[in-house]
């Protein structure tokens, strides 16, 4: 279904357009209803003012049953590994400090 030989840069429109086509939806408003996301979120993702977050990817996975890897590939994310945010690391460090106090 997905051509792994395609070498495209980050492009969330490819992801959104593929979801629209695969789910036989007419527009982004219909997609937002199916994903249970506010329409401005889809619009901001499409215009690259908002990145596709992990929670949005998970919701897309739940609705479409496409793997997270396939969804990431569709939007041009070719990283083999994920990096944990520094903010998450700092929050965990703070929790460890409080537990030892």
**Per-residue model confidence as pLDDT tens digits over 47-75:** 999 999 999 999 999 999 999 999 999 99
Asked if residue 25 lies in contact with residue 34, where contact means CB atoms within 8 angstroms, the answer is yes
What CA–CA distances, in Å, run from 21 to 24, 92, 101? 5, 41, 55
Enumerate residues 6+ apart whose C-beta is below 8 A from 76. Answer: 8, 9, 10, 11, 14
What is this structure's pTM? 0.71
**Could you read off the pLDDT of 1-40 as tens digits, one per residue?**
444 444 468 899 999 999 999 999 999 999 999 999 999 9
On whether the CB atoms of residues 75 and 15 are closer than 8 A, the answer is yes
What fold characterizes domain 12-100? 434 Repressor (Amino-terminal Domain) (1.10.260)
């Amino acid at each position: 279904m997905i051509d792994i030989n395609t070498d495209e840069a980050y492009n969330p429109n490819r992801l959104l357009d593929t979801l629209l086509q695969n789910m036989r939806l007419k527009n982004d408003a219909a997609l937002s209803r199916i994903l249970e996301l506010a329409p401005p979120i889809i619009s901001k993702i499409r215009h690259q003012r908002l990145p596709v977050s992990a929670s949005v990817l998970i919701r897309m996975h739940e609705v479409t049953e496409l793997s997270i890897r396939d969804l990431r590939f569709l939007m041009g994310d070719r990283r083999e590994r994920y990096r944990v945010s520094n903010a998450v690391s700092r929050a965990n460090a703070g929790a460890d400090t409080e537990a030892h106090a």
